[in-house]
């Protein structure tokens, strides 16, 4: 077991090391659509690359999620074959969002440095594919909020 401080230090080291291993500017929150964000998630059980749709405006959420769902087959066939669509994803905070994500299939625990490299490679490739998808279909996705 790790103390809170040791755990926090390991998380910080994990993300710092990832940034040094893959020094680039990721899209993440810069989608130009409020509450429509790409995220890296890493904890003691899993590593994920996610697209979170999490506005408090339920109509906006449904419209954006619907637009991405219309592209589901393209996303699976051309970018991320193992993508998971979760229309009711419960965050640790209790908030329910739409989450579209890819899960790292290898062994991973943020407290185990021996599992980090595989997760870094996964993060780099999966986020790159998500960004390519978004770049190719950004205008179509944005139509949902301009209807």
DSSP assignment letter at 6? H
The pTM of this model reads 0.92
CB-CB contact of 96 with 88 (8 Å): yes
Report the candidate in 115, 93, 91, 92 with the shortest Cα–Cα distance to residue 105: 115
pLDDT tens-digit readout, 78-123: 999 999 999 999 998 999 999 999 999 999 999 999 999 999 999 9
pLDDT tens-digit readout, 109-118: 999 999 999 9
**How much is the average pLDDT of 43-72?**
95
Residue 104 main-chain phi, psi, to 5 deg: -70, 125
């Amino acid at each position: 077991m790790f103390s809170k401080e040791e755990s926090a230090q390991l998380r910080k080291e994990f993300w710092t090391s990832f940034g040094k291993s893959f020094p680039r500017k990721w899209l993440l929150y810069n989608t130009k659509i409020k509450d429509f964000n790409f995220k890296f998630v890493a904890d003691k059980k899993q590593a994920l690359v996610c697209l979170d749709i999490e506005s408090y405006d339920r109509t906006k959420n449904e419209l954006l999620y619907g637009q991405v769902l219309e592209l589901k087959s393209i996303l699976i066939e051309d970018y991320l074959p193992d993508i998971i669509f979760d229309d009711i994803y419960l965050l640790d905070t209790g908030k329910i969002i739409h989450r579209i994500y890819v899960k790292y299939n290898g062994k991973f625990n943020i407290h185990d440095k021996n599992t980090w490299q595989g997760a870094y490679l996964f993060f780099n490739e999966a986020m790159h594919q998500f960004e390519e998808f978004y770049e190719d279909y950004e205008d179509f996705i944005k139509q949902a909020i301009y209807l």
